Structure 1
């Protein structure tokens, strides 16, 4: 466990020769206790951050994806933060699926009542990630980011918004053009207000088109199920694909017949994502 006494170890489990931990700490950024999961292989050589989707928590990927076996073999530590602050008593906080709010969207809200606590971008990049990197003795050159759905949006946008913070990026069924989809528009309006020029700063496809050179020479890996009920209206991978073509960014967008949006799909493709990051880190 971290030497930081403010980090509370909630539980620890032996797993494929490593340790799966669930932790809690008091966040100065969000002003609330935050939970996260950390898988520590026997010999950590790199760190992969995995951001979960709309209705998830730090437990979802950790317990459902089956990533620890190969991560242990590859020496990848896995950091799974919660998606959002909890317990702020904000109206609508518990109903993220219907409202597209309360689930953090991995940005810093500017509008009330969300602005006080919903600061997931700053929390991840300025608090949680540096803490874990320091604990493991790893820097940005050994850190990658991935995610699913809303978390895929977060992985892509955080990597593009903060050059040099992540050496590799991938996503599974990501929200690729949130400015143009109902989930994104509802979340951005609530968190950022009505100015859509501010929304574009958190849209992976628009961020990619704004690049002056390809930001990830090693390529970006994206997997998308073709039986995903959210594919056409919410996810729009073709927007990211076109943006990558426009700036010459290598993108491996793999489309899978018969696969939906859930964790059976994630479990089916996660090994390739782990290997993608291990090769670049």
Structure 2
């Protein structure tokens, strides 16, 4: 598989690459953005994966998070995957904003008609990162961390917990922390995974952290705005995740921040804390 470069944009002394490729996992054309900071040493550059939320493309976080500024400051690259297959031509995939296109929920679907294309878990954690490592040989995809927002925050927590030892650290902005018990999760898991709740648990961070046994247990950093409409509607439920984490040695640092909403204004305000968090575990700062 090869990537087509659709744009190269100078940003914060580094370069943002906009790429496209044909995915064997989703069986569609996929787009991904990769920010590469200026080289600071002869060593390969560590990588941070950023998973976006509902309705987003790779461009939202690239343009609004200011994460690239801190990637240059600390010396890590960033991968911004898309949030779903696009153009799969499945009936109903464009009927609502919170399911289907732009809402892949980072799961591997098991039901018809979704299972042929909606396999975002395997796409992100298996196909995409493996192929990017071949394309960007100066990046160190073995020294890698993961973060995300909302649906992507759920995807980051799930990806970390389901792949013990792969990611050096994890953080999340307003994650859907207990999807099995919220309307978004019930809608998406029910459609993609069917009625078997055991299948749902395999992508639910609040369930997964109870089962996590690996020695790699970094502190999990979460920021959540108290004025977030979805937090008030019980879509996110980070407290459930914290309560379930009593056996996790690294602990969960949940920061409830007064007055902040669910938007990129919120994310960009606290993104430096997350960048420093990952830079530490990636071995870039003490």
TMscore range, shorter length: over 0.9
**Do residues 171 (structure 1) and 172 (structure 2) align?**
yes
**Do residues 87 (structure 1) and 55 (structure 2) align?**
no
Task: Give me the whole-angstrom Cα distance separating, in 2, the residues matched to 1:123 and 1:173.
Answer: 23
Please give the residue correspondences for 1:137-152 in structure 2 after superposition, counting only pairs within 5 Å.
137-139=138-140, 141-152=142-153
Please give the residue correspondences for 1:52-67 in structure 2 after superposition, counting only pairs within 5 Å.
52-67=52-67
Shift of 1:162: 1.1
1:70 is matched with which residue? 70
> Secondary structure of the equivalent of 1:104?
coil
Give CA deviations for 1:34-53 in whole Å, capped at 9, x if unaligned. 00000010126210000000
Task: Give me the whole-angstrom Cα distance separating, in 1, the residues matched to 2:147 and 2:242.
Answer: 17
Please give the residue correspondences for 1:261-272 in structure 2 after superposition, counting only pairs within 5 Å.
261-272=262-273
Task: Give me the whole-angstrom Cα distance separating, in 2, the residues matched to 1:89 and 1:188.
Answer: 20
- Where in structure 1 are there 5+ consecutive unaligned residues? none
Give the structure-2-normalised TM-score.
0.92
Say if 1:19 and 1:39, in contact at 8 Å, map to a contact too: yes
2:15 is matched with which residue? 19
- Are residues 55 and 264 of structure 1, via their aligned partners in 2, closer, same or farther at CA, if it must alter by over 3 Å? same
Give CA deviations for 1:159-202 in whole Å, capped at 9, x if unaligned. 10111221110000000000000000110010000011110111
Task: Give me the whole-angstrom Cα distance separating, in 2, the residues matched to 1:255 and 1:136.
Answer: 39
Of 3, 6, 12, the residue aligned with 1:10 is: 6
Say if 1:213 and 1:248, in contact at 8 Å, map to a contact too: no
> Secondary structure of the equivalent of 1:36?
strand
1:101 is matched with which residue? 100
Shift of 1:214: 6.5
Shift of 1:70: 1.4
Give CA deviations for 1:237-276 in whole Å, capped at 9, x if unaligned. 0011111124444111111000000110001011111111
Bigger fraction of residues in helix: 1
1:237 is matched with which residue? 238
> Secondary structure of the equivalent of 2:125?
helix
Give CA deviations for 1:1-44 in whole Å, capped at 9, x if unaligned. xxx6x210011111111101111001111111100000010126
Say if 1:225 and 1:265, in contact at 8 Å, map to a contact too: yes
Give the count of matched residue pairs: 275
- Are residues 95 and 66 of structure 1, via their aligned partners in 2, closer, same or farther at CA, if it must alter by over 3 Å? farther
- Are residues 52 and 277 of structure 1, via their aligned partners in 2, closer, same or farther at CA, if it must alter by over 3 Å? same
2:123 is matched with which residue? 123
Please give the residue correspondences for 1:142-221 in structure 2 after superposition, counting only pairs within 5 Å.
142-212=143-213, 215-216=216-217, 218-221=218-221
| CA RMSD, 1 decimal | 1.5
Shift of 1:141: 4.5
Say if 1:140 and 1:166, in contact at 8 Å, map to a contact too: no
Give the structure-1-normalised TM-score.
0.93
Shift of 1:139: 4.7
